[in-house]
Amino acid sequence: MKNYKRYLVTSALPYANGPIHIGHLAGVYIPSDIYTRYLRMKGLDVISICGSDEHGVPITLKARKEGVTPQEIVDRYHSINKKAFEDFGIAFDIYSRTSNKVHYETASDFFLTLYNKGEFTEKSSEQYFDEEAGCFLADRYIMGTCPHCGNENAYGDQCEKCGTSLSPNELINPHSTVSGSKPVLRETLHWYLPLDKYEPWLKKWILEDHKDWKVNVYGQCKSWLDQGLQPRAVSRDLDWGIPVPVDGAKGKVLYVWFDAPIGYISATKELTPDWEKYWKDKETKMVHFIGKDNIVFHCIIFPAMLKAEGSYILPENVPANEFLNLENDKISTSRNWAVWLHEYLEDFPGKQDVLRYSLCANAPETKDNDFTWKDFQARNNNELVAILGNFVNRTLVLTNNYYDGKVPGRGKTDSNDDSVLNEMARIKEYVETSLESFRFREALKEAMNLARLGNKYLTDAEPWKVIKTNPERVKTIMNIALQITANLTIVFEPFLPFSMEKLRGWINFNELKWSKAGNSDLLASGHIINKPGLLFDKIEDEEITRQTDKLIATKKSNEEAGAKTVPGKAVITFDDFTKIDIRTATILEAEKVPKTTKLLKLKIDTGLDTRTIVSGIAEYYAPEAIVGKQISIVANLEPREIKGIESKGMILMAEDKDGKLVMVTTSDKVSNGSTIK
């Protein structure tokens, strides 16, 4: 393993439009915190960088919705999240923000360097422009009718009703959410980073030189590289963000994905005047902690930017985690399906380490995992209380009883003593190896094995019995139990900093050097320990029930919200209505469109003609079951090509609130082509 002079650890910048939840913690911030705490304990030169990502369209939308400025939004969540991290002991050296002056300068300079080196290509394209407001509209600023489900409040990038992703020019009757006017297409110029140019280099750098990356990360990169990279726009027409620092770029800002990772650099600048040695010296090891949604930015785009700039180092590893679910359901901010950090601390004050422990022990390192309150309780009661807390308690109580809190001297050891002491040293190595390779779950389990070892040692040695026959021997036993306790404060420090601080206070021990772990003489004979308390408390069923009830209530209110029928549409004239040619028809043939999940190709008799219609009903109707059925169709809809088949018309379907489709038919059989009015 190469030895580096210093470490630069970055954690994904949380987006400042909402609070932090357990998914963020488990995926990114707990691993990065454990890693940096460990490196610091080794006495290495390490800095941990994070901050709020404060640009981008969703923040401006949220601001508009609440009638405040974007700055107010980011100020709010920046301080909430900064505090949440502090409260949980996530020890960044700096928690900065991308609305800082130093970040504006850094990002502008970065852009200019690439610009002057001719690394960008320029291209103009047609985008929607709001003539009343006098600005270009980002996708999210355009609303209109969803061509799929008829929802009149679909956004330019996605319809939130049916989940379809859209592009603005697909919307029917698009209108600007800024002024309400109908936008027009207008030419606009943007700068692109030609990722394709870096493809050969990226292929070598990742696919050949970094085979050691986690399989999910490597696989995702390989997939992108195999498909071929496209130039990517680095600017947007928007007024919230960092202005593009060149002439003729009025009203244009850096695209948020370009500006955000540079935030790592500017935060470092803000932290130390020595920032360049962390970013530009090959002796620095840079590690990005992120979630799986961020892989492409940190493994492909940001490295390409750094490479294009030329003077920066590249990440040595990008240990991305998968996602955490909550009680079998995706965590979702908008559905309030989450455990928010600030709420957790209100319900479980002082129990940061319990959450840290259960999230790390169940971290989604190789696949999506599920957080359940029952598991949380079990981890606390059966592991933290029963194994770690109990061992510490047994040891300290016995020491106080027998020796009045004075560490007894160790006499001659027997073979069992020796093997326990050797095992202690070996556990340190295991924890270390696991941490170095970003296997935090495993590292934590190994650390817990030290407490298990201690429990077993006490039970085997039975000092409470031996004290009656051979008090000298008990001194040795208790000395060893106390050495194990002192060791626990070191190996658990990265994982459970709050509890270990408590424990160090009880045993008057403040040696936080990783190199001391495995040492069997941490507490000298005669060393005085204090009266202990309990390291962890049991969590009763009622507390867990309160949490699950809370979630059940959330689910219920979501269902009620979802059960609302689609809002009514605007009034139309009778003329409008008569334009629609609705008639009965019969399905003659039906077959599945190959390589699709939802599409059926139908041949139908409309009374006027026989025609083909492609319909997205395959999930609800089997082809053979619907041949011969009489249905209703819109006969005069503009033909459209779907998966290479021309579809002439649309079959009427009733869609209920969970998206189930049911055919609209007549109650009695009528002849094909009967009009419906």
Partner RNA sequence: UGCGGGGUGGAGCAGUGGUAGCUCGUUGGGCUCAUAACCCAAAGGUCGGAGGUUCGAAUCCUUCCUCCGCUACCA
> From the list 5, 280, 456, 669, which residue makes contact with RNA (rule: CB under 7 A)?
456
Among 1, 101, 187, 215, binds RNA (CB under 7 A): 215
Please identify, using beta-carbon distances, which residue of 254 and 388 lies nearer to RNA: 388
CA dihedral 379, 338, 502, 488 (to 10 degrees): 40
Binders in 594-613 for RNA, by CB under 7 A = 595-599, 613
Alpha helices by DSSP H, 568-667: 574-578, 623-626
Site size toward RNA (CB under 7 A) is: 81
Closest to RNA by CB, 86 vs 329, is: 329
Compare residues 253 and 360 and give the one whose CB is closer to RNA.
360
- Rounded to a whole number of angstroms, the minimum distance from the CB of residue 96 to RNA is 27
- Options 24, 78, 394, 410; binder of RNA; rule CB under 7 A: 394
> Which residue number, 122 or 368, has a Cβ lying nearer to RNA?
368
Beta-carbon count within 10 A of 232 CB? 17
Closest approach of RNA to the CB of residue 330, in Å: 5
Please identify, among the stretches 26-34, 114-122, 528-536, 666-674, the one whose residues bind RNA according to the rule CB under 7 A.
528-536
Instruction: Find the binding residues for RNA in span 150-189 (CB under 7 A).
Output: 162-165, 170
Least Å distance, CB 120 to RNA, is 24
For 207, which DSSP code? I
Long-range contacts (CB closer than 8 Å, 24 or more residues apart) made by 59-64: 59/15, 59/16, 59/17, 59/240, 60/238, 60/240, 61/140, 61/141, 62/17, 64/177
For the segment 416-455, give every residue that binds RNA (CB under 7 A): 441, 445, 452, 455
Could you say whether residue 233 binds RNA (CB under 7 A)?
no
Query: With CB under 7 A as the contact rule, which of the stretches 187-195, 461-469, 483-491, 668-676 interacts with RNA?
Result: 461-469
365 is a contact residue toward RNA (CB under 7 A): yes
Question: Where does 130-255 have alpha helices with state H?
Answer: 195-202, 215-227
Residue 537 sits in the site that holds RNA (CB under 7 A): yes
Residue 253: strand pairing partners: 236, 243
Helices (H), ranges, 173-274: 195-202, 215-227, 256-271
Q: What residues numbered 646-675 form the site for RNA, per CB under 7 A?
A: 647, 649-651, 653
389 binds RNA (CB under 7 A): yes
Answer for which of 76, 538, 555, 603 binds RNA (CB under 7 A) is: 538
476 binds RNA (CB under 7 A): no
Q: Which residues contact 589 (CB under 8 A, 6 or more apart)?
A: 602, 603, 627
CB of 537 to RNA, least distance (A): 5
**β-strand partners of 118:** none
Residue 309: Cβ-neighbour burial (10 angstroms; 0-12, 13-18, 19+):
middle
Half-sphere exposure of 657 (CA within 13 A, CB side): 10
* Angle at the Cα of 287 from the Cα atoms of 281 and 289, rounded to 5 degrees: 150
> Tokens representing 17?
């439009």
Determine the interface stretch with RNA among 70-78, 176-184, 340-348, 373-381 (rule: CB under 7 A): 373-381
How far is CA 81 from each of CA 19, 127, 321, rounded to the nearest angstrom? 6, 35, 20
Stretch that binds RNA, among 194-202, 303-311, 565-573, 637-645 (CB under 7 A): 637-645
Among 189, 314, 378, 676, binds RNA (CB under 7 A): 378
Task: Identify the residue among 117, 465, 513, 660 touching RNA (CB under 7 A).
Answer: 465
Taking contact as CB under 7 A, which single stretch among the options 133-141, 262-270, 572-580, 591-599 is the one that binds RNA?
591-599
Q: Which residues contact 112 (CB under 8 A, 6 or more apart)?
A: 245, 246
- Helix ranges restricted to H, 509-637: 541-563, 574-578, 623-626
- Dig out the tokens for 15 from the structure: 């987006």
- Where does this chain touch RNA (CB under 7 A) — which range of 13-21, 91-99, 191-199, 529-537? 529-537
Q: Which of residues 329-358 bind RNA (CB under 7 A)?
A: 330
Which residue in the set 98, 284, 390, 520 belongs to the binding site for RNA (CB under 7 A)?
390
Query: What is the sign of the dihedral through the CA atoms of 399, 405, 407 and 412?
Result: negative
Q: How far is the CB of 573 from RNA (least distance, A)?
A: 21
Q: Which of 8, 61, 593, 631 binds RNA (CB under 7 A)?
A: 593
Kindly identify the residues of this chain, within the stretch 242-271, that bind RNA according to CB under 7 A: none
Round to whole Å and give the CA distance between 465 and 462.
6
CB-wise, 68 or 645, nearer to RNA?
645
